[in-house]
Amino acid sequence: MMSDVWEKIGLDWEVVRFVTRSRDMAVIKSSMRELKTFALEHGRFHVVSIAERPGLLAWMQRLELTYYPPGTHRNLLFHFHMIQWDELMWSMISIPAAGERLARRSAEKTGMRIADGVPLVITAEDRKWFPIKERNVWSLESDGSQLQGIVTPDMLKPELEKADRILDAYRHSSPTN
């Protein structure tokens, strides 16, 4: 799904970094090497998830809109990367380490949990750890309250509705409206 979107917009990049500049968002080509260097920065808390994981979008929106709202200085501290790895699309959210409690609170509120360690892809032939394995890199998982297994567009409908409700609540409470 997400990789289809990636192809439709014509990106063949390994890593894309979304950066807030004032009230606009820039899309910047990056590399796994640059991402690894970024992950080593002290004082950062990174969360990785497969991009199609149910709950990811709601968690990410809740975290950003509640604690790092667009148009504020705090939003400049919220970093979002999309990563093409092992034929799958992944996301990595990075915030100041001091915001770990906020990320965990947002996870609880959206039926997710932040788990120790980085993702591991297991196939019949191999096991592959996510290429960025640092102490400050964690995984986002469903807390068990959500359906597990193969993700279909119908399964994502409640996820998108939840994300829309979070965005609507933010829009109604935003001082810029």
pLDDT tens over the chain, length 177 residues? 444 544 544 556 678 877 776 666 777 888 888 988 888 888 999 999 998 888 899 999 999 999 999 888 898 899 999 998 888 889 999 999 999 999 999 999 988 999 988 888 888 888 888 888 888 999 999 876 655 544 555 656 776 676 677 767 767 775 554
List the Cα angle 174/176/177 in 5-degree steps: 75
Specify the pLDDT at position 140.
94
Cα 68 to the chain's mean position, in Å? 14
- 49: helix, strand or coil: strand
Task: Give the predicted TM-score (pTM) of the model.
Answer: 0.74
Specify the pLDDT at position 15.
84
Cα distance between residue 65 and residue 166, in whole Å: 8
